[in-house]
A and B are shown apart, each in its own frame.
Chain A
Amino acid sequence: MKTQYSRRGALSRLGGAIAGLLTLSAARAVKAAVQKVFVASGAPKDYDTTKHKWLMCVDVNKCIGCGLCVEACKKENGVPEGPYFRTWIERYVIPKPEPGSGQTRGETLVDSPNGGMHGFPPTPVPKDQIEHSFFVPKLCNLCEHSPCVQVCPVGATFDAPDGAVLIDPKYCIGCGFCIQACPYGCRFLSPVTKTAEKCTLCYHRITRGLKPACVEICPTQARIFGDLKNAGPDAPIRKFYENNRVSVLKPHLGTEPRLLYAGLDKEVR
């Protein structure tokens, strides 16, 4: 059998292959678009993501480290037992410097036993030697440029237009790349669903006009939550903004967090 090799034949075959590939990619784009519509976020059907912009603020000076927010979050969202937290509280204890050491402060102690869920044990540093001691609630930093969204290989985690960073659990492949990419340690791989999980701002609640569980339960209103697009002049979130200078965690990474803190210390990372 003699096969003819012609330039025309080879080119037309190559063209066919490229056309096939292009059709495939178009099919992929359609599938992705369809999946975006039917994405599982927990929001009611009539909720319009473009009409809200959620913002979370934390007043570090107000947190008393009671741990109710952590417990409420675990219960509300069915977060598994063990080292899995959508929100947690860190305690910072900064001792006074050794006399004559020439330093401004002693070495900072940080702890968060069980995420601070049941409060904190007495500090190992005697009271009269403590210079500063404070609690810092942590949760998803709602980054404007989220590294976790950037690295997800299938687009299972995404920035919702209303500012929440969400994960579609039916779509996540459980590779853990987003967990590695989150600079704030806010994500974990659920041992139950085998997918990545994180704070959703209690998306099922906020899309129905309720506050996130942690905000709802905080006895000192250390967590302030609001909708920037629908906040009146007297809204707590506006007041917080007006009355405080705010900062974010790890600003050098360029993630532009939308979780704003008032009263942070340089030791907090």
Chain B
Amino acid sequence: MTGEITNVVVEVLPRFEGYVYPNEASLHPLWGFLIVLYPYITGLVAGAFIMASLVRVFKVRALEPVYRLSLLTSFSFLLCATLPLLFHLGHPERCFEIMMTPHLTSPMAIFGFVYAWYLMAVLLLELWFDYRQDLVEWAKVTPGFKGIIYRAFTVGVTDESPPAVALDMKMGRILSVVGIPSAFLLHGYVGFIFGSIKANPWWGNGLTPIIFILSAIVSGIALCVFNYMVLTWIRRHTVDMRCLDTMAMFLFYALVVDAAVEGLDWLHRGFAAEEGFSVMQIMIREKLFYTLNLGQVTIGTLLPLLLLGPLQLLRRRVSELVRRRMIFSSAVMILIGVLAMRWNVVIGGQLFSKSLRGVMGYKLEFAGVEGWWLGVVLLSLPFIILTVLVKLFLSERLPSSGHIPQDSATGEG
């Protein structure tokens, strides 16, 4: 009997320090890498949409070259946003119960409706109204299968009269206005899924949803910068520097606000030093040292601030090539940093026991449902979808209707 007990203790010790509840002593945290990707992808959706609405609602003309690209980016990531959740469920076949018999006090149930609303009522409709006139034109000139696709997407509405086109524009603008709070709601709710858990001092916090929204905007703009620069590079086009500088400006200011609120959150936690603060200190100093201090703070926040900040003041003195490189590398670093932030939230919240007496270890594995291989696949999927969408709807060979998202003079330059 004693031998048996000793074996259990020896087997458990390397992974756990201190005391963890017996139910927490499993090999992997309950929510693994897939659940890290879920807020990451959802944040990119919301951020890319906010980027598009800068053009449509706030009439930032310089950003017109990336308007459709950001909408398509948002859409392709939205299609994949729930996949990590689905793969992670114990009973994925029952997933529709969330919609059919929702429990209305649950943040996760409400997220299902917010997601459906955002996909069906906001993004799909806005894309359709924006593209309808083009689709009608393209259907006329494109033969074969592609032509059938364009025709199918018009859903039979082929009216090109000025009142119909005007209605398209009006609806698009209304949807954009509705879309901004919807995007906030979408990602705010993801934050609330974590922020609502009062049992966990790492998550349960009123600022969590706000931090999620802000970091979503930052990562979404960074993704649009990334996609735009990669697309122009693939197509051997020249980058529209006015557009890129404007994106960099919005990226910088969004990052400043995000960093300020996150800093405020940490100041508050440190000052209040409530129950569980000592365990949080272990997390910062040991368990999450690299992903937090290096990934989230240094790569994701400080370095991009240092690169983008001076650009706002000394834009004219820096050559275009250097600017492009600085902005591109900032965008890539922010994308890495926000992924690290999602990791720190999701995994970090599960690396300590709710008894606040012990910490667990976590080693990301290659294979399996929670392995990084599936994560990489799920993260590449939206880019594959985006490639198809760009080939179909941002094709260079097709004439564009020339209508612009906000009905004034073109800003293409």
Q: Check if B159 sits within 8 Å of A83, measured CB to CB.
A: no
Q: Does B200 contact A (CB under 8 A)?
A: yes
Q: Closest CB-CB distance, B166 to chain A, in whole Å?
A: 10
**A175-187 vs B: 1/0 string, CB under 8 Å?**
1110111111111
In the complex, what distance in Å separates the CA atom of A181 from the CA atom of B26?
A: 17
Is residue B147 contacting chain A, with contact meaning CB distance below 8 A? no
Q: Whose C-beta in chain A lies nearest to the C-beta of B200?
A: A180
Closest B residue to A187 using CB positions: B23
Name A29's closest neighbour in chain B (CB-CB): B101
Contact B1 A147 (CB under 8 A): no
Q: Name the CB-closest residue of A to B31.
A: A176
B371 within 8 A of A: no
Evaluate contact between B357 and A110: CB separation under 8 angstroms: yes
A120 to B355, CA, bound (A): 19
- Whether A88 pairs with B91 at a CB distance below 8 angstroms is no
Which residue of A is nearest B19, CB measured?
Answer: A110
A118 within 8 A of B: yes
Are the CB atoms of A83 and B25 closer together than 8 Å? yes
B107 and A151 contacting across the interface, CB-CB below 8 Å: yes
Bound Cα distance A111, B355 (Å): 11
Chain A 7-37: CB-based contact to B (< 8 A → 1; otherwise 0): 0000000000000000000001001100100
CB proximity of B34 to chain A, nearest CB, Å:
11
Q: A31-B100, A121-B5, A175-B108 are in contact. Are A115 and B22 (CB under 8 A)?
A: yes
CA distance A187 to B21 in the complex (A): 10
B91: which of A85, A115, A120, A172 is its contact (CB, 8 Å)? A172
Is B264 engaged at the interface, CB distance under 8 Å to the other chain? no
Please give, as numbers and ranges, the residues of chain B lying within 8 Å of A82 by CB-CB distance: 26
Q: Does B318 contact A (CB under 8 A)?
A: no
In the bound complex, residues from chain A placing their C-beta under 8 Å from that of B107 are 151
B23 and A188 contact, CB distance less than 8 A: yes
Residues on the A chain within 8 Å of B149, using CB: none
Residue of A85, A193, A269 most packed against chain B (CB within 10 A): A269
Whole-angstrom CA separation of A3 from B168 in the bound complex: 13
B259 smallest CB distance to A (angstroms): 28
Contact of A185 with B23 in the complex, beta carbons under 8 Å = yes
The answer to whether A3 touches B159 (Cβ under 8 A) is yes
Q: Does B239 contact A (CB under 8 A)?
A: no
Answer yes or no: B198 CB below 8 A from chain A CBs.
yes
Known contacts: A112-B22, A177-B108, A189-B30. The answer to whether A194 contacts B199 by CB under 8 A is no
How many Å from the CB of B361 to the closest CB on chain A? 14
Q: Which residue of A lies closest to B18 (CB)?
A: A110
Can you offer 15 A-B residue contacts whose CB atoms are under 8 A?
Answer: A28-B101, A31-B100, A83-B22, A83-B25, A88-B23, A112-B21, A113-B12, A114-B5, A121-B6, A172-B94, A174-B91, A175-B85, A180-B30, A183-B198, A185-B22
